Amino acid sequence: MNDAPPSDADRYPLITGRGRAMLKFLREHPAAPIYRNESGNRLTADDLSKVSAFDAEVAAHAPAWSPGIPPDWLADFIASCLRDVPRYRSYGFTSAALEDLPTVSRADLSRDIAEFVPDPVPIDRLIQFSTTGTTGHPLRIGSHPTVAAGYLSFHRRALRHFGIELTAGAGETAVVLVGFQRRCFTYVSVTPQMNEAGLAKINLHPADWRDPGDRARYLDALDPEMYTGDPVSFAELATLPLTTRPRALLSTSMTLLPGLRRQLETHFGCPVIDVYSMNEAGPVAFSDGITWHLLQHRMFVEILDESGNRLPPGHRGEVTLTGGFNPWLPLLRYRTGDHAALIYQDGQPQLTGLSGRPPVRFRSTSGEWLNNIEVTHALGGIAISQWTLHQAADGSLTFHCAGSPDHQALLAALTGLFGQTAAIDIHPGAVFDGKVIQYTSRLDPLSQSS
């Protein structure tokens, strides 16, 4: 293991003159932001051929299984986990039906991730992705440059659903990852599988720019084929006087309400694709606005109740994952903490009613219990990027949200749900830094109260 900080040769092993020119352009443009960090693709020639093969495999295979008929790869995957992964080997089985195996939680991964790394995989080029999440279990995930590069294959699958094939190549900017927070990891890179097209990870927060007006000037100069980000950073992006337009926006990390999605689609004139993604599993599904289409052809999804029993199609419970594309972290019944129902449409498994974290119950003035997903639905038509709702022990509600959405529309949505006499305090202009616990209630004993 090399203790020296990575060099450009480590970060971009395959870089050519074109790639260097792209990095120079991204870093040294007169309107460029203050790039605070460095990173790279780290792909070797051997890696690149594996990434290309994986891309073709993803394009050729859709996730497919039927109720009661698991996918054909599952039994071998379970057997390899039970044989090669120290944690799973400790179960004492050499083969087993999936439903007979214990589940694994984020807390288990957080306790000792090394137990989940299979014996046969080399660790000399291990990389890591850290995440704090909102559950109090910080995670350090073992991964590899080919796994990181594999994200693009799933993005392409999602984009294809909307009729988009990425075409950026040499001398062009393929993607800009936009953040909008006080502190953000920022850097530039090139993507070898797209002929060294540029990649920039930037922070739209004015503190990262010499002049806030540079933001639009820089992004127009880059003219990226696609932006990825979250509802908060996209809401900020939409305030910039850009003259260029991307072919797609890809949103992760936070709930994207239909109202904001429509507003962004109108503003940018392109699809805005909501992707359900997590460090532990990568991109799992994307939304077509109605249901969530699964992305990974070697990922099996179960929906479990609180006791770990598998629920039938159409019943909402915890999304539990088996499989994945990270050989350094094979998942065997990983309980994500997110909730949804599994349905089958045209023979394909899909998710509906997806929401992060366990459900929180709120009480309306009539005494009716409401699931938090009903709140999300009620807010669906309003263009807000981030919000929290808390119910106090006396039933009163406090709503904080970013930006300045239509107060009357918000109040109407919430009173429509909770009752005309509900005590609701609305606080626009809230500043959030990163992910938040969106729903809390003193009335629901299962809820984490703020």
Partner 1 sequence: MTAEGPPLELLLHRLAETPPDFLTAPVIGNTGAVHTAAVVNDLLRMHGAPDIENGIAELTNSQDANRLRLALVLSWLLADETILALHRPPGEVLAAVLTGSAELGGFVQARNAVDNGERREEVVRTTLEKLSLRPLGENESFARDRLTTLSTAERTRVLAASREAEARARAIREALAKKAAEESADKWSRE
Residues that bind partner 1 (CB under 8 A): 1, 3, 6, 37-43, 86, 90-94, 96-97, 99-102, 112-115, 117, 119, 123, 126-131, 140, 142-145, 148-149, 151-152, 155, 175, 177, 179, 185, 189, 191, 199, 201, 228, 250, 252-253, 275, 277-279, 283, 307-309
Q: Which is nearer to partner 1, 150 or 405 (CB)?
A: 150
Q: Which is nearer to partner 1, 184 or 417 (CB)?
A: 184
- Nearest distance in Å: CB 254, partner 1: 10
- Nearest distance in Å: CB 369, partner 1: 25
Q: What is the DSSP string of 286-335?
A: EE-SSSEEE--TTEEEEEE-TTSPBPPTT-EEEEEEEE-S-TTS-EEEEE
Q: Which is nearer to partner 1, 186 or 441 (CB)?
A: 186
At 303, phi and psi to the nearest 5?
-115, 120
Q: Which is nearer to partner 1, 179 or 317 (CB)?
A: 179
Q: Which is nearer to partner 1, 259 or 356 (CB)?
A: 356
Q: What is the DSSP string of 70-125?
A: --TTHHHHHHHHHHH-HHHHTT--SS--GGGSPPB-HHHHHH-GGGGS-TTS--TT
Report which secondary-structure segment, H or E, holds 382: none
- Nearest distance in Å: CB 232, partner 1: 13
- Nearest distance in Å: CB 362, partner 1: 27
- Nearest distance in Å: CB 399, partner 1: 26
Q: Which is nearer to partner 1, 268 or 418 (CB)?
A: 268
CA distances, 210 to each of 27, 189, 199 (Å): 13, 21, 21
What is the separation of C-alpha 387 from the centre of its chain, rounded to a whole number of angstroms? 18
- Nearest distance in Å: CB 167, partner 1: 15
- Nearest distance in Å: CB 415, partner 1: 34
- Nearest distance in Å: CB 123, partner 1: 5
Q: Which is nearer to partner 1, 151 or 432 (CB)?
A: 151
Asked if 324 and 295 touch (Cβ cutoff 8 Å), the reply is no
- The torsion of the CA quartet 345, 348, 354, 359, rounded to 10 degrees, works out to 90
Q: What is the DSSP string of 28-42?
A: H-TT-----------
- Nearest distance in Å: CB 194, partner 1: 10
Retrieve residue 110's tokens.
């957080």
Retrieve residue 115's tokens.
């137990």
Q: Which is nearer to partner 1, 124 or 394 (CB)?
A: 124
CA distances, 42 to each of 52, 124, 145, 258, 287 (Å): 15, 13, 6, 37, 31
Calpha distance 294→158 (Å, rounded): 9
Question: Angle between the 45-60 and 145-161 helix axes, to the nearest 10 degrees?
Answer: 30
Q: Which is nearer to partner 1, 79 or 412 (CB)?
A: 79
Longest dimension (CA), the chain: 68
Strand partners, 401: 387
